[in-house]
Amino acid sequence: MSPQERPMYRIPKIFQNQPGLIAAESTRHGGVSTTPYKSLNLGGQGADTTENIIENNLRFFGALEVPFKQVAKTHQVHGNLVLSVNEPGRYEGYDALITNCPEIQLAVTIADCTPILLYDPASRSVAAIHAGWRGTVGNIALHTIENMKQLFGTQPDTCLAYIGTCIDFDSFEVGPEVAQHFDSAFQKPADMEGKFLVDLKEANRAQLMQAGLHSSHIEISPYSTAKHLFDYFSYRFEKGQTGRMLATIGMRTL
């Protein structure tokens, strides 16, 4: 595959053909950052320059035809707090953003943790969720849907969801202090004695279904940050010296 053919982002199939909806997950291609952040580093951590990160964001959102001034992000803390956003900008301390305001593009940063994007076609509301293992254990997907129900009148059975690219089941090795928080359906013993493998994608899918989403309304990314390093950043497998991707969702005014 030539450099020109490497995608800057992928659009979840489940959100295609939804009028006015803009949803995408970035890859590591198409930016200006150099190794080890090569090349589309969209996050603010590490030693990459602010100028590179801003230029990468402008390129990414520009490719989606979204003005960068319309983007809402949050400094994530691996918690389960949900913020209802009424204007774009930078927020602190939340791991999920929701809105029913058109022309606000929600975005969460990822590099192994699980991104989840939600769309309610009835209320035209959206959510962007950052679900690491702590957020998953803290039921952040459930909390997000509950907030959407209370604020926007969302009915979960009409919602569409995308569980994005994250570290895969066979690569997320943890100790018993982490594994103990997960149901046995979402873990198995690792090859190394005393270690376990945890399935973040399936744990979050089960949570969405518990909230009332239909299984046919949930798409799961087939990609892994750990196994597909050519296309994605992995904090764990690149030993912290790596960039960040974005999962983003928003609505145009119809």
For tokens 């997320």, name the residue.
172
Three-state DSSP at 24 gives strand
pLDDT over threshold 90, residue 16: yes
Query: What is the CA 222 to chain-centroid distance, rounded?
Result: 14
pLDDT higher than 90, residue 49: yes
User: Which one, of 83, 97, 168, 81, lies nearest residue 129 by Cα?
Assistant: 97
Mean pLDDT, the chain, integer: 96
Question: Closest Cα partner for 115 from 171, 172, 44, 165?
Answer: 165
CA nearest neighbour of 168 among 112, 237, 95, 108:
112
Q: What is the pLDDT of residue 171?
A: 97
Phi, psi of 207 (to 5 degrees): -65, -40
* Letter string b/e over residues 163-190, b meaning 16 or more CB atoms within 10 A of that residue's CB: bbbbbbbebbbbeeebbebbeeebbeeb
At 64-107, the pLDDT tens digits run: 999 999 999 999 999 999 999 999 999 999 999 999 999 999 99
Percent of the chain with pLDDT over 70: 98
* Number of neighbours of residue 146 by Cβ within 10 angstroms: 15
Nearest to 68 by CA among 80, 78, 81, 58: 58
pLDDT at 24: 98
Query: pLDDT tens across 147-178, in order?
Result: 999 999 999 999 999 999 999 999 999 999 99
Q: What is the pLDDT of residue 254?
A: 86
Share of the chain above pLDDT 90, in %: 95
pLDDT bracket for residue 6 (50, 70, 90): confident
Amino acid letter, 202:
E
CB 167 within 8 A of CB 225: yes
- Rounded distance, CA 74 to CA 44, Å? 11
Inter-residue contact 198 to 182 (CB < 8 Å) = yes
Which of 46, 6, 4 minimizes the C-alpha distance to 230? 6
User: pLDDT at position 5, please?
Assistant: 65
Given this model, what pLDDT does residue 3 score? Answer: 47
The yes/no answer on whether domain 3-169+200-251 falls in CATH 1.10.3720.10 is: no
Q: Going along the chain, which residue ranges are E strands? A: 9-10, 21-26, 71-75, 82-84, 89-92, 96-99, 105-110, 114-120, 125-131, 160-163, 173-174, 187-189, 196-198, 218-220, 245-251
Q: Is the pLDDT of residue 44 over 90?
A: no
Q: Is the pLDDT of residue 2 over 60?
A: no
pLDDT surpasses 80 at 45: no
Distance CA 141, CA 27 (A): 23
